[in-house]
Structure 1
Amino acid sequence: MRFTTPPASGCGSIPLHSTNCWQRCLNRRQKDDAVLQHVTFHPPQCTPHAALHTDDPLVVLRFAADALLAGMATALVTLTDIRGGSSRPRGAQMAVREDGQYCGVVSGGCVEAAAACEALEVIHTGCYRDVVYGQGSPYMDIVLPCGGSITLHIRPLYQAQPLLTVLNALGRRQAAGLRWNADMPGVTAVTGAVKTGRDGQTFQVGYRPRARLMIAGRAIAPEVTAKIAQAAGYEVFSCDGWRPAHAAGGIDDDTAVIVLYHDLHQELPFLDAALGASPFYIGALGSARTHQRRSERLLQLGYAPQAIARIKAPIGLFAKARDVSSLALSVLADVAAARTAMLEGH
């Protein structure tokens, strides 16, 4: 099933979920609410199940685009409002196909199956909806352990092109976004940096390229750091895969440069490349005394104190890591903290 044109708006329906609590809650609401007495209840056509467990927005968008290109009706679920605590940020998404398979997470695992049921109903009716879970929600059998409540906007998708536009931009290491409002069907693509949030009747979700790590160094520390970074989903280039002379085009706003040499002479070309670009993080190995010598050398080379201050040294989130695994975790935790601060505008 695939919609070629948006269906008429104004339809109303509520999915019939399988749990007794859902049934009792909906029965009570239907009995007490004059509007709900005229709402049609549709039993689910299939059982939702997770095809991919991921919070990577690129994977979610690719999953949705592939489904649409294969002729499968698909809905996009977006976390739009948070009241109190939430394990996922505003703009977190999941995509649901007409066969019940879904990809992505919008909570800590509390609501995904229920949200997928709602998405199947949206696919069935063609009408978008907002669903509240947690405090104040009629769905009393779905409890958010962190307290508060979340609102999910569930919207049918009609074309793969907006998703492909975003994916192509991200593939070129460019920011992009998706936007929609109450008066439009589907979603539209937005090029350039987009801040996730609401603007009047419009909601938009911004996407940035995958964080890239450029790791320079020798011995075992760079190797272990690269392996853990790859497992965490970073795009990784080791010192074997890049050279300072060719780094200018590869270091962008979504890049972290990690220098793990114990030799000032060897690390200077990499620091020179990093300071000549705009990475969100630059870190270098060594003690405070080593960094003092490093700073003096960079001053001699003509770098301003403000530029040198961009280097995090000693590198890492916690000091004096004595084994390579601890060092790698310390470095990557520091990178993740810097990335989060950048994305949140701090």
Structure 2
Amino acid sequence: MDQTLAPITAPIPVRAASTDDPAELLRFAIDAHGLGAAALATLVEIRGGAARALGAHMAVAADGRFCGYVSGGCVEAAVASEALLAMAEGRDRTVKFGDGSPFFDIVLPCGGGIAVAIHVLKDVGALQHVLDRLERRQAAGLAYSPERQTLEAVDPLPRACWHERDFLTVYRPRTRIVLSGRTIEAQAVARLAEASAYDVIVRGQDEGAKVAADIIDPFTAVVLLHHDLDAEAAILETALHSPAFYIGALGSTRTHHRRVERLTAMAFGKDDIGRIKAPIGMFGPTRDATSLALSVLADVAAARLVAYA
């Protein structure tokens, strides 16, 4: 009888989910680690152009399933294959793609190059720490040491970067939209914001004044879509006393002039009043609810990028 053993085949990488939400990727890594082994791949260098920002992640399970993006989709399967090899060897590795890479057959459409650090997870305590902080709507940080092959929770820096010999990744809560109004415009903004995976809190005209100040944090945009200045007054005052990164209000230039007069009479200063985007939105004027919703959320997204570049 032939006693020859059949060759052991490596798992084939297969995308498990199309998401780039950091919290979802860390949960995937934690679950995969609990089932056997997992690796976390991080974009740590960009040469020229790139589709993703420094600190972008992929999570790879030992059975070949992966999720996340470190490019526009052109190298992810190759990164997953490298992560599977790293798990088989039990050692971290850093791999280059695109310009300056040994993989001449993998070309990035942007013409640049990237480096991806692959960490074989030994424990998931640091990842859980990040998730716990995000659940409390607090920023978090991780420090990856290629030399020690460790991943540790640290205080977050303003942005992902190399700090001495460690690469630091920053995580921030998803954008929260506090939306006040029962108008058709408010309904359109709520639908689009929810489809964009924002944390949406809707308050009607009667309950707008009841918005607690503690739900408006530095990662919150306050969107006021009333056709009456009296209806927005209470929540606008709350927003101006809050750390919200965006405050926008519906109304024409003439309406906003009246709004400014009211706020000035209430002793709000120019800097406070200057925080209000009015007329609201990135482009305008709009004449239908869907166009307004696109304009508002584009404005919110742009403001978030400026606040947390």
Instruction: Calculate the TM-score normalised by the size of structure 1.
Output: 0.84
The offset of 1:246, in angstroms, is: 3.6
Q: Which moved more, 1:218-227 or 1:94-103?
A: 218-227
Matched residue type, 2:234: P
Equivalent position of 2:149 in the other structure:
185
Match of 1:104 in 2: 68
SS in 1 for 2:127: helix
Question: Match of 1:292?
Answer: 257
Distance between the aligned counterparts of 1:308 and 1:44, measured in 2?
64
Does the aligned pair in 2 maintain the 1:178–1:187 contact within 8 Å? yes
Deviations, residues 232-282 of structure 1 (Å, cap 9, x unaligned): 110000114974334201000000000011100001111111001010000
**Per the alignment, in what secondary structure is the counterpart of residue 178 of structure 1?**
strand
Q: Which residue of 2 aligns with 1:141?
A: 105
Structure 2 CA distance for partners of 1:44 and 1:260, relative to 1, 3 Å = farther
Residue matched to 1:264: 229
Change in CA separation of 1:43 and 1:257 when aligned onto 2, cut-off 3 Å: farther
Q: How far did residue 217 of structure 1 move? A: 1.3
The aligned amino acid for 1:239 is: R
Identity of aligned residues (%): 48
The alignment status of 1:306 with 2:271, answered yes or no, reads yes
Question: Which residue number in structure 2 is paired with residue 91 of structure 1?
Answer: 55
Return the offset for 1:184. 2.1
Q: Which residue number corresponds to residue 173 of structure 2?
A: 209
1:117 corresponding residue in structure 2? 81
Of 164-173 and 189-198, the range deviating more from structure 2: 189-198
Q: Which runs of 5+ in 2 are unaligned?
A: 1-6
Is the CA contact 1:73–1:98 (under 8 Å) kept in the aligned structure 2? yes
Distance 1:245 1:218 in 2: 15
Question: How far, CA to CA, are the matches of 1:153 and 1:243 in structure 2?
Answer: 47
2:203 corresponds to which residue?
Answer: 239
Q: Which residue is equivalent to 1:163?
A: 127
Q: TM-score, normalised by structure 2?
A: 0.94
Give yes or no for contact 1:79–1:89 (8 Å, CA) kept in 2: yes
**C-alpha separation between the residues in 1 aligned to 2:233 and 2:36?**
53
> Is 2:179 aligned against 1:219?
no
Aligned match of 1:75 in 19, 32, 39? 39
Secondary structure (helix, strand or coil) at the match of 1:187 reads strand
The residue that corresponds to 2:94 in the other structure is 130
Distance 1:315 1:43 in 2: 60
- Per the TM alignment, residue 195 of structure 1 is displaced from its structure 2 partner at its CA by 2.8
CA distance in 2, matches of 1:103, 1:285: 39
For 2:59 and 2:220, the matched residues in 1 are separated by 28
Cα separation, 2, equivalents of 1:237 and 1:280: 16
Q: Secondary structure at the match of 1:299?
A: helix
**1:57: which partner in 2?**
22
Query: What RMSD, in angstroms, separates the aligned Cα atoms of the two structures?
Result: 1.6
Contact 2:32 2:62 in 1 (8 A): no
Residue 199 of structure 1 pairs with residue 163 of structure 2: yes
Shift of 1:58: 0.6
- Paired with 1:73 and 1:309, the residues of 2 have a C-alpha distance of 51
Provide structure 1 residue ranges, at least 5 long, that are not aligned to the other structure: 1-41
Task: Provide runs of 4+ in structure 1 moved above 6 Å.
Answer: none
Distance, in Å, in 1 between the alignment partners of 2:46 and 2:222 is: 34
Provide the C-alpha distance between the structure 2 equivalents of 1:190 and 1:243, rounded to a whole number of angstroms: 37
Residue in structure 2 matched with residue 4 of structure 1 by the alignment? none
Give, in whole Å, the separation in 1 of the partners of 2:9 and 2:158: 36
What one-letter code is carried by the residue in structure 2 that aligns with 1:305?
A: K
